[in-house]
Amino acid sequence: MQFNRLWTLFVARNREFLRDRAAFGWNFLFPFLIIGGFGLIFGGDRYAEYKVGVFPVETENAVPASLDIPEQFRRTQYIQFVGFKTADEAFDKLKHYRIDFLIKAGPPPYPYWLNNTSPKGYIVEKIFRSSLLPPGQSLPAQKNEISGRQIRYVDWFFPGILTMNMMFSALWGVGYVVVRYRKNGVLKRLKATPLTAFEYLSAQMLSRIFLLMFTLAVVWIGCDLIFSFHVEGSYVDLAVVFFVGSLSLTALGLVIASRGTSEEFATGLLNFIAWPMMFLSEVWFSIEGAPYWVKSFANIFPLTHLLKAVRKIMNDGAGLIDVGPELAVLALMTLAFLAIGAWLFSWNR
Amino acid sequence: MALLEVKNLIKKYGRTEAVRGVSFAIPQGTCFGLLGPNGAGKTTTIEVIEDIIAPTKGEILYKGRPRTDTFRAEVGILFQQTALLSFLTVHETLATFQNLYTKTADLQELIAMCHLQDFLNQYNDRISGGQRQRFMLALALVNKPELVFLDEPSTGLDPQARRNLWEVVQKIKAGGRTIVLTTHNMEEAQALCDEIAIMDYGRIIARGSPAELIKRHCGGVTVELPSTSFNPSLPPLSVPFQVVQDRIEMMTDDLNGFVAELVAKNVNLKDMAVRSPNLEDVFLTLTGRQLRE
């Protein structure tokens, strides 16, 4: 292997990425938009998980305080009340899952309606009925609250978006780009030089890791200025975990890049891998309580282990030793992906 | 000793035999042309020699030995169709490729020889067809190769751009380098090649210098007449003829006698053209088809 050839390709690939202004801008803008958007939606006091229709009410944007419904229910957090002038109008919305629950304003008994197939409607009914209990009634339950610093939703969500962005960038930036190069003959042209496959793939991988870490730093700083993220653990430990994670994700990209000349097929394959990985790695929601096989299946994805380690450090103050198992799995996955990618790689097929 | 020797080369794609037992040897410092119509197997042959695709059977010797890892460092290739790394200027692309080799040409000399000065700072995909081919030729020469492969170098170029490219190829030739050229353009083959192998359906059907091939296969001159000059009731002529679009072509060793025969048979000679035979005629004679078909 000649380091000069590897460096030359590394520089050329970085130039390509940095000069492609549309792709370059999007790589930074996308995570900002997602985090900003979700921060606004979930971070403020106005976030509502359930929508409850009330009729008859003159305005759609009903002010809860003015609604003639049980006070305890009216004060429930995370419920948005939507006013309807007529029952027919409200029934139509309930039928089409536009609202989760419907109640008629007025004195008791309070008539209410829900869609039997709506899980949210079922939950709201429970909330509604419990709100009708007489005040001061002693319940056979004891309320306790977690003490210490609270983890804001955005602090839990932020690592997910960052790592998801890394995943897409690694898979498409290597997998798709190399397949495109194979199709349009760039790889054929490079094959005609003394460049070896190992040198070429190493340059691709190192370039992508460099760009991933660079993008990560810029997005982190930008988002931190807006949301003031709290990191319980060490930034150095985070950087190590992100680096190992980007290695494994980029190596997975190399496996996809190893064969094929069809961009359509590569896109299909990338989606086939990226979408389950995104949903099962707990980027968007927890899979706690999901069937055992789902949780086991999620472990085949590097993003699962990367995200777990990042959240442990960021949210729980874990150190490198605490995230050792995740790092070990990521390292093993990297080696396995590299071995498969190198074994399968072809310059022109 | 031949610089490159190809022995009984066969390349199959499934049941299709693209190259069927091709053999030739190329002496150092010559320009060897593979001439043939599209689909004759020229590009497959050259890409097997270049080590881009693997042969099904056959032997390829470079400097008398099977090719080794150093082969790629010693040859330069201009592919028929290829793309380059995006968002790099012409100069940056040249420098990038130069860095992939140990032995390299002087970039300034290369730029001057291939006339790249005017578009050096443009992105490599934002240049005209003629500029692109000269640039690709410069890329093929960036490692000072002993052997240069040019696969259909002037395809798609206008006549002026084609002449400019040929000029550069002549300079490479004058520098003593060995060139392997594929083309379906007989003018190009005639202008650049010292020796030609005519390929058809994966086989070499004739071989020699352009002059030898013409002399061997097309002894006389070609007489061309518009089809309208002939009366359907005309008695048969003494030489066979070919209908080419709206013209009739006849080949004869005795021009004076043949013209006298045409006059005697009252053929209108007003639009008659006489030309010396070329490689196109050689191909026509050998296969009954034109190169462009």
Domains of chain B (ranges, CATH numbers): 2-215 (3.40.50.300), 220-276 (no CATH)
Residues 93-132 of B with CB under 8 A from A: 96-97, 99-102
ipTM of this predicted complex? 0.83
Q: For the residues B191-201, what does the mean pLDDT come to?
A: 92
Q: Are residues A182 and A264 in the same domain?
A: yes
Residues of A in contact with B121 (CB under 8 A): none
**Chain A interface, best mutation among B44, B85, B98, by max A CB count within 10 A:** B85
pLDDT tens digits, residue range A153-176? 778 888 888 899 899 999 998 999
Helix (H) or strand (E) holding B116: none
Residue with tokens 């088809």: B289
All residues of chain A having their beta carbon less than 8 Å from the beta carbon of residue B99 are 4-5, 8
Alpha carbon separation from A200 to A24, A207, A257, B125, B167 (Å, rounded): 22, 11, 12, 22, 35
Distances (CA, A) of A51 to A72, A109, A124: 16, 21, 9
Same domain assignment for residues A248 and A121: no
Which residue type does A59 have? T
Distances in whole angstroms, Cα of residue A95 to Cα of each of A56, A89, A100, A114, A121: 18, 10, 9, 9, 11
Residue A26 is predicted with a pLDDT of 81
B97 contacts A192? CB cut-off 8 A? no
Domain presence at residue A142: no
| pLDDT (average), residues A267-279 | 91
Tell me, yes or no, whether A175 and A238 share the same domain: yes
Domain count, chain A: 2
Q: Which of A100, A131, A162 is the last residue of a domain?
A: A131
Instruction: Give the C-alpha separation, B277 to B252, whole Å.
Output: 10
> Of the residues A131, A166, A199, which one is the last residue of a structural domain?
A131
Residue A349 lies in a domain: no
Of A4, A13, A185, the CB nearest to B81: A185
pLDDT exceeds cutoff 70 at B85: yes
Measured CA to CA, the distance from residue B147 to residue B15 in angstroms comes to: 32
- For residue B284, name the pLDDT band (cuts at 50, 70, 90): confident
Is A101 found in the same domain as A11? no
Together in a domain, A292 and A229: yes
Same domain, A33 and A94: no
A184 shares contact with chain B (CB less than 8 Å):
yes
* A11 interaction partners in chain B (CB closer than 8 Å): 96
pLDDT in tens, A72-81: 888 888 888 8
A197 located within any domain: yes
- Tell me: do A98 and A167 sit in the same domain: no
> Does the residue A193 lie in any domain?
yes
Q: Which of A102, A131, A160 is the last residue of a domain?
A: A131
Q: Are residues A159 and A271 in the same domain?
A: yes
Q: Which two tokens stand for residue A96?
A: 């089409």
Residue A305 domain-assigned (yes or no): yes
Which letter, b or e, does each residue of B217-227 get, where b requires 16 or more Cβ atoms within 10 Å of its Cβ? bbebbbbebee
The residue range of the domain holding A74 is 50-131
Query: Mean pLDDT of all residues in chain A?
Result: 87
What's the CA gap between B127 and B120, in Å, rounded?
10
Asked whether residue A244 carries a pLDDT value surpassing 90, the answer given is yes
A143 within domain boundaries = no
Instruction: Specify whether A241 is located in the same domain as A299.
Output: yes
* pLDDT (mean) for A145-150: 70
A145 found inside a domain? no
| Together in a domain, A36 and A61 | no
Average pLDDT, integer, range A325-340: 95
Q: A249 and A158 in one domain? A: yes
Burial of residue A72 (CB within 10 Å: 0-12, 13-18, 19+) is middle
CATH code of A65's domain: 3.40.190
A282: in domain: yes
Of B52, B75, B100, nearest to A195 by CB-CB distance is B100
Q: How far apart are CA A239 and CA B186, in angstroms?
A: 63
| Average confidence (pLDDT) over B42-51 | 93
**d(C-alpha A290, C-alpha A174), whole Å:** 32
Q: Are residues A306 and A168 in the same domain?
A: yes
A103 φ/ψ angles, rounded to the nearest 5 degrees? -135, 145
Higher-confidence residue of A33 and B87: namely B87
What is the model's pLDDT at position B243? 80
A346 in contact with B at a CB cutoff of 8 Å?
Answer: no
